Amino acid sequence: MLTIGDLSRRTGVKIPTIRYYEQMGLLSHAERSEGNQRRYTKQERERLSFIRHARELGMTIEAIRDLIEMSQHPDMPCSEIDRIAASQLATVRHKIERLRKLEAELDRIATHRHEGSIRDCYVIQALANLNLPEEGVSEQ
């Protein structure tokens, strides 16, 4: 059995994130020791590693929940899991396309040199009048 600190160190997932995954139902609530310390099994460590890897791939909590649920039925066909992976791939490709557009725009702005004062600075003017691609850039 692992404490939450041990689980965190072994999986590279921060303790608050582990608690969050428990609240979201991705991890079962850990057993408690007599001292009320959370105790995790090898299976829970493996599940947390699975979740961490899926999150690194950019998958949503909902997609991960679906994958975990489907993994409980090993005889089912893989088609739905393949659909989730393909959807995530499309999302990543779209983000890459947007990042390439952002890179080109930043390159255009950053490489345009101007020797004048800030009021004439190209970077400030370009940002004030920035024409974003059709979809725009979401603020985060």
Q: Is the dihedral of CA 102, 107, 112, 118 positive or negative?
A: positive
Q: Are 46 and 7 in contact (CB under 8 A)?
A: no
Element at 25 (helix H, strand E): none
82-89: long-range pairs with CB below 8 Å, 24+: 84/59, 87/63, 88/57, 88/58, 88/59, 88/63
Instruction: Sketch out the chain's domains with CATH numbers.
Output: 4-76 (1.10.1660.10)
Model confidence pLDDT, tens digit, residues 67-124: 999 999 999 999 999 999 999 999 999 999 999 999 998 888 788 777 777 777 777 7
Model confidence pLDDT, tens digit, residues 18-28: 999 999 999 98
User: What is the structure's pLDDT at 131?
Assistant: 53
Q: Is the pTM of this model over 0.85?
A: no
